Amino acid sequence: MSGTSEPILVVSESLHALPDAVAELKRCGHPVHYVEGLKPWRELAGADRSALEHAVAVVMGRVLQTDAGALAIARQLRVIALHTSGCDNVDVDSATRRGVLVTNVRGVNAEVCAEFAMALLLCVVRKVLAGDHAIREGVWVERTHSSMDVFGSTVGVIGLGQIATAFVKRAQAFGARVCVHTRTPNAALAAQLGIEYVSLDELLGRSDIVALFASLNPQSRHMIGARELALMKPSAYFINIARGELVDESALLDTLRHGRIAGAGLDVFETEPLHRSPLFELDNVVVTPHQAGLTQGAKTAAALRAVHNALQALKGELPRDALNPAAWPAAHRKTPT
């Protein structure tokens, strides 16, 4: 691509450290400005703020509060290319009205996220972390003399996107029975996977392990609250690698504190980054810092796909990952000839 004065802004905690993605941006001919961290647009200042105001494309991770007010700062913007699978951090409707295309990389890290969900499940259900702490403290098996069997258990899966589908196969490989609740049941997929679709209430009451994979939207926010948690067995475990906002965290904390379920494995939280929480005080909870998709391979693949989405849009081509193609006519008219 020939040289151009149209800048690209990268706001990310990782992309600047991924050589393949950095090299791709160096080759594109656009000047690139990096903000090395997930800083909300309104908090950018100095050269970072100026770069945002002039950017034609922003490549970014899960930068929160990218709403109509934040979008108004970037007056030249044509495309936001997320290197995450979700898009709940961006006001897509406002972006569409401004003619700003939004893309994500859904599915790029499905296998590694499913792998991590299984690891988190095993860690909390089989008391791996509790055992590690016990042996270091010299008490051997007193805290871990028994745990629930994963083999033969019933695993309830909420949501059935690409990550959940990959997780179902892993749970079945461990000998678990799987039931699923989803807004869009697919009979052919159920037959292929050997799963049963059930209502959310039935899933919660039947399952030994509940694993949450739903997408976040206004309707699904706090879909798991005090009422739903009360339907779970006292012996059951709760796993969430999807979005923290899907769960009423205060209700979950109360449920765990009072032993109304056996435990939880959590990779996501209502407030992120999370540096302090009463959850940290509970020995029936395993917490991790939103790391399910953070393998080197997955991060590189996501970053490259996001960069390609941005460059494709700037060349006047509609990326296959476009979330709001209705914005495309306006974005396309802005593309220089």
Q: Which residues, in sequence order, are bridge partners of residue 82?
A: 60
Q: Is 52:76 a contact under the CB 8 Å cutoff?
A: no
- The pLDDT of residue 337 is 35
| pLDDT 10s digits, 146-187 | 999 999 999 999 999 999 999 999 999 999 999 999 999 999
- The pLDDT of residue 86 is 84
Q: Supply the pTM of this predicted model.
A: 0.87
- The pLDDT of residue 144 is 87
Mean pLDDT of the region 42-48 = 97
CA distance 120 to 68: 36
| pLDDT 10s digits, 199-226 | 999 999 999 999 999 999 999 999 999 9
Q: Is 121:209 a contact under the CB 8 Å cutoff?
A: yes
Top pLDDT among 331 and 255 is at 255
Q: Catalytic residue numbers?
A: 243, 272, 290
Q: What is the DSSP string of 204-225?
A: HHH-SEEEE-PPP-TTTTT-B-
Closest CA to 247 of 216, 207, 205: 216
Length of the chain as a residue count: 337
| pLDDT 10s digits, 18-32 | 999 999 999 999 999
Tokens representing 86 are 């979700």
CA 115 distance to own-chain centroid: 14
Distances (CA, A) of 119 to 27, 32, 129: 38, 37, 11
CA distance 85 to 114: 13
Report the range of poorest mean pLDDT among 104-108, 139-143, 182-186.
Answer: 139-143
- The pLDDT of residue 334 is 52
Domains along the sequence of the chain with CATH: 8-108+295-334 (3.40.50.720), 110-287 (3.40.50.720)
